[in-house]
Structure 1
Amino acid sequence: MSPPRSTAKALADFIGSARMAQALSLAIIGTGFGTHLIRSLLGWPGLIAIIAGLLVLSALSLVARWRAVEWYGILPISILVFVGWAAASVIWSDHSLSTLVRVGYLFAFGFLGVYIALMRDTIQIVRAFGDVMRLLLGLSLALEVFSGILIDLPIDFLGIEGNIAALGPIQGVFGSRNFLGFVALIALISFMIEWRTRSVQRGRTVLSTVLAAAAIILSGSPTTWIAFAAAGLATAALYGLRKAAPATRWSWQLGILAAAVVAIVAGWLLRVRIIGLLDARGEFDVRLDLWREMNRYLAQNPLEGWGWVGFWPKATDPYVWLQLGTGRQHGSGLSAWVDVYFQLGIIGLLAFIALVGLAFARSWLLASVRRSVVYVWPALMLVVLIVWSFAESFAIVEGGWMLLVVCAVKAARDMSWRDALREGRPAG
């Protein structure tokens, strides 16, 4: 064997190795949830270069492990429909080139999410999220201490206001207190799953939990507490379902569904009091003003929307008019549901609801019946994403979108109607 061929084979073996997949998964998750930090340090060109590099390496890794991947039905049809409709919006968008680029950005993080779901087991994904979140939250609190206590000055280019001495709100390396609270909550859930599966030492679990809890409290994000309560109730419900006898499990499922509907209705009826208790009147009014302004423009394109953009462009209509109408700068519609409706119309919203709904239903059923506690993680991640989608658009951009894709793909591969059809097909 010639030396060049030996080198090529060694390189192919390295790219296709499990260690490479592990390293890539960590880098992808770190990039997905560290985009604000990367943009602040390197700008958009630096972030795009990193994403492009991850896409190339992920594609090479998939090719190198081609035979080890089960390609049949790798993607839920709901993901294909949603991304396909977003891509189709290039046709009717008033800014087709911008929409095309932004659909590519959506596709890039979606592809990276698919890579993680295909190449790593669920427990490996939980460990990867846990490791990345420990680093990002630790860095966030360290910078907040440096800014708010040591130098007593804000770090403007990172968006850190230096309020930790006043016990918040803090932003960390995430640009906003809400995104910090969102990340801290999914980190806390990941740390709990690590503890329950005995994947890490107890001391690390305790320190990680304290870190995540401190970030949640100091973020001062009202929505985080609502999502925390929802995740807690979902955890209790799943604990009961997993302990229930198989013969009575469906009855309990229906009871929990009815209780959830009652809780949602009660929450809506008591929304004013809840908002007052959380001291979130100001945030709610900001969202309400924006949604009212968006509703004026929705009447023009109710079926197909204005075309996909993800993050809102600052100088493009109709978004510039929304900024002027509300008197505030907005980077999103402050709700994934409203944002999708505005950008992709009723059809896009229905596709997104189907994507999230199917992913959640599959994840919930798997978490209810599978013996390993690791199956609880995707279900709780989706609970958090669903709740947060009423107040922020995290679920349709960057790390939040990638997390949604990971959960949807893992759930579909473990509970697929296409597999059921294939298994039920007569041989011949």
Structure 2
Amino acid sequence: MSAARSLSLAEILDSAAFARAYAVTAFATAFGGPLIENLVGSATLTTIMVGLVLIGAAVLFVRRAELAWIRFIPSSIALILLWTCLSFAWSSDQRLTWIGIWGALGYAFLAIVIAHIRDSLQTVRAIGDVLRVLLALSIVVELLSGVFFDSAFEFLGVQGNITAGGPVQGIFETRNMLGLVSVIALVTFVVEFRTQSIEKPRAVVSIAMALALIGLSLSPTAIVLVGVVAASAGTLAIVRATQPERRNAVQLTLAALVVGMIVIGLVFRHQIIRWLGAGTDIAVRADLWNALLDYSRLQPWQGWGYFGAWAPNEFPFWSINDRAGEDIHLSALNAFFDVLIQLGIVGLVLFLFAAGLALTRAWLIATQRKSILYAWTPLVLITLLANSMLESTVLTSVGFMLFVLCATRAGQVKSWRELLDAPRPQSPSIQPG
């Protein structure tokens, strides 16, 4: 027997097995970023990211013949990244802005690579596999801290409150981040279950684990997100079950109901806040946003430069924190206010345009395609955007990566570029008489 032929580097990079391994590693790095930083430092996380970017570039180079470069990245995302890079010119601290820009570009690039080398089902499966491990690890860490050692793990941000029913943080440092990841995991696990892409017992255990951590996090944000996702999923199910010729009328009716619910929520916001037990959190955010708006007026159009997470010792962030109270905040606790202070009105308009376009495309795809798989993208986008009202996660690390991934995935299916691909009508040939 002849020896098996060894694969070349190009063949390895072009293989399906390598693409799966790359996607799983990228998602594990993005979701597990807080754990990596707490255990081995930010330099290690940066090194891993640089390695993934270089490997991803090599994979795209090897697969360049099969890529549609005109669909490589949505124009709306490209505009946001371009404006973010330009903010280096007027930043209040160009060194930190340079670091923040490269971080945003890195996570965006990972998302784009995955969108081009993995299809929708493969992407959902990769995220599901990663989140199963990370959520299980969170439970283990909480049990070790709260039960076996009965001591907080300060180096991980774990307070050891699991025996008291929470709040727990898992490996994600804060209860709100654990809640967000658990909601994304819940959406992913349900889609896996409905598409029968994993065994039923594993799906049931995964869903139960995500629900348990949402409850144990005691995060008001997570409770709101579950409600928003449930309402969105129900709305999507109604639209999908409607006959195509009636869908526009149904969608308009449901949109009117959503607007009505938002109005009711605003009218009864104080009662809702008291019911959620989030009065203190809202008061803190209100003080922070009022201070932020004062400084955004000084540079309204371009902002103070992109930093990602705030540099608390840099202007204007230290001054905003000083005016808002004693706490040191590393974000505006609202993605839209954060974009306003860092990238100005121009950046905010670009962000709203990109988010609205991505959500519209993803929603239309989900209502038109038969498979429930296509519901994952709009539901995750809705989760990220709803969370953006109370956190700035969508602007950094895994939040930004998922945002770009969803926008790119939606743009691959529905885009103005379809007009370029459509066959042109042929002129009727004139036959000699």
Please give the TM-score of this superposition, normalised by the length of structure 1. 0.96
| Other-structure match for 2:28 | 30
1:270 offset after TM fit, Å?
Answer: 1.3
Let me know the Cα RMSD of the aligned residues: 1.4
Aligned residue identity for 1:361: T
| Other-structure match for 2:328 | 329
1:420 offset after TM fit, Å?
Answer: 2.4
Aligned residue identity for 1:192: V
Q: Distance in 2 between matches of 1:50 and 1:63?
A: 20
| Other-structure match for 2:132 | 134
Q: Distance in 2 between matches of 1:98 and 1:242?
A: 46
Q: Which runs of 5+ in 1 are unaligned?
A: 1-5
| Other-structure match for 2:73 | 75
Q: Distance in 2 between matches of 1:247 and 1:426?
A: 27
Aligned residue identity for 2:51: G
Pick which of 42-51 and 414-423 moved more.
Answer: 414-423
TM-aligned CA distance change 1:184 to 1:172, over 3 Å = same
Within 5 Å, give how 1:335-374 maps onto structure 2. Answer: 335-374=334-373
Q: Which 4+ residue blocks in structure 1 deviate beyond 3 angstroms?
A: 6-9, 424-428
Within 5 Å, give how 1:172-251 maps onto structure 2. Answer: 172-251=170-249
Q: Distance in 2 between matches of 1:322 and 1:20?
A: 46
SS in 1 for 2:8: helix
Q: Distance in 2 between matches of 1:395 and 1:8?
A: 43
Pick which of 393-402 and 6-15 moved more.
Answer: 6-15
CA contact (8 A) 2:221 2:390 kept: yes
CA deviation vs aligned residue, 1:324-357 (integer Å, no higher than 9, x gap) = 2221111111011110011011110000001110
CA deviation vs aligned residue, 1:165-190 (integer Å, no higher than 9, x gap) = 10000000001000000000000110
Number of aligned residues: 423
Aligned residue identity for 2:401: M
Report whether the alignment pairs 1:261 with 2:236. no
% identity of equivalent residues = 38
1:422 offset after TM fit, Å?
Answer: 3.7
Q: Distance in 2 between matches of 1:183 and 1:194?
A: 16
| Other-structure match for 1:143 | 141
Q: Distance in 2 between matches of 1:7 and 1:47?
A: 36
CA deviation vs aligned residue, 1:358-382 (integer Å, no higher than 9, x gap) = 0000000111111111000001001
Within 5 Å, give how 1:264-413 maps onto structure 2. Answer: 264-325=262-323, 326-413=325-412
Aligned residue identity for 1:365: L
1:7 offset after TM fit, Å?
Answer: 9.4
Q: Distance in 2 between matches of 1:302 and 1:144?
A: 44
CA contact (8 A) 2:142 2:158 kept: yes
Pick which of 331-340 and 414-423 moved more.
Answer: 414-423
1:8 offset after TM fit, Å?
Answer: 9.3
Aligned residue identity for 2:368: V
TM-aligned CA distance change 1:14 to 1:149, over 3 Å = same
Q: Distance in 1 between matches of 2:359 and 2:46?
A: 31
1:417 offset after TM fit, Å?
Answer: 1.2
1:9 offset after TM fit, Å?
Answer: 5.9
| Other-structure match for 2:152 | 154
Q: Which runs of 5+ in 2 are unaligned?
A: 428-433
Q: Distance in 2 between matches of 1:407 and 1:106?
A: 16
| Other-structure match for 1:60 | 58
Q: Distance in 2 between matches of 1:97 and 1:263?
A: 45
CA deviation vs aligned residue, 1:71-96 (integer Å, no higher than 9, x gap) = 22221110011111111111111212
CA contact (8 A) 2:70 2:417 kept: no
TM-aligned CA distance change 1:249 to 1:296, over 3 Å = same
1:46 alignment partner, one of 44, 47, 54: 44
Q: Distance in 2 between matches of 1:182 and 1:162?
A: 19
Aligned residue identity for 1:186: I
TM-aligned CA distance change 1:68 to 1:422, over 3 Å = closer
Q: Distance in 1 between matches of 2:417 and 2:137?
A: 44
Please give the TM-score of this superposition, normalised by the length of structure 2. 0.95
